[in-house]
């Protein structure tokens, strides 16, 4: 299956609605900039033809903290050993928020603290 994944910035989204005699027509044009393509993705992208139907998914690159919480709850519901996300020294891709004064475990450190 052909698939081209790449990162880009949305420059402009144009939505055009046209009223025709027998109904209406809608077209959407998305203009991208700062496109990060690899050689593989460029070759895959060139294989798509005009007027070919494709599946389009736009996903924000920014981290959504609610997604981390949902993944943690899903892992706990399946009975798996869920990781504590307190900034373990070996795993810095996860973030957690801790309220109160819990003692730190071995190999844990506080990356940033906010006091209000």
The model carries a pTM of 0.47
pLDDT higher than threshold 70 for residue 33: yes
At a CB cut-off of 8 Å and minimum separation 6, what does 84 contact? Answer: 96, 105, 108
Domain ranges (residues) in the chain: 1-60, 63-116
Reported as a single tens digit per residue, the pLDDT across 59-110 is 888 766 666 666 666 665 554 444 444 444 454 545 666 666 777 777 777 7
CB 83 within 8 A of CB 94: yes
């Amino acid at each position: 299956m052909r698939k081209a994944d790449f990162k880009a910035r949305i420059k402009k989204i144009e939505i055009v609605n046209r009223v025709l005699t027998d109904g209406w027509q809608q077209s959407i044009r998305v203009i991208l900039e700062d496109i990060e393509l690899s050689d593989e993705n460029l070759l895959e992208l060139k294989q798509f033809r005009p007027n070919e139907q494709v599946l389009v998914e736009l996903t924000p690159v920014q981290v959504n903290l609610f997604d981390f919480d949902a993944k943690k709850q899903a892992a706990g519901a399946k009975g798996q050993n869920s990781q504590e996300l307190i900034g373990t020294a070996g795993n810095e891709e996860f973030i957690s928020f801790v309220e109160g004064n819990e003692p730190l475990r071995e190999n844990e450190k506080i990356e940033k603290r906010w006091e209000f």
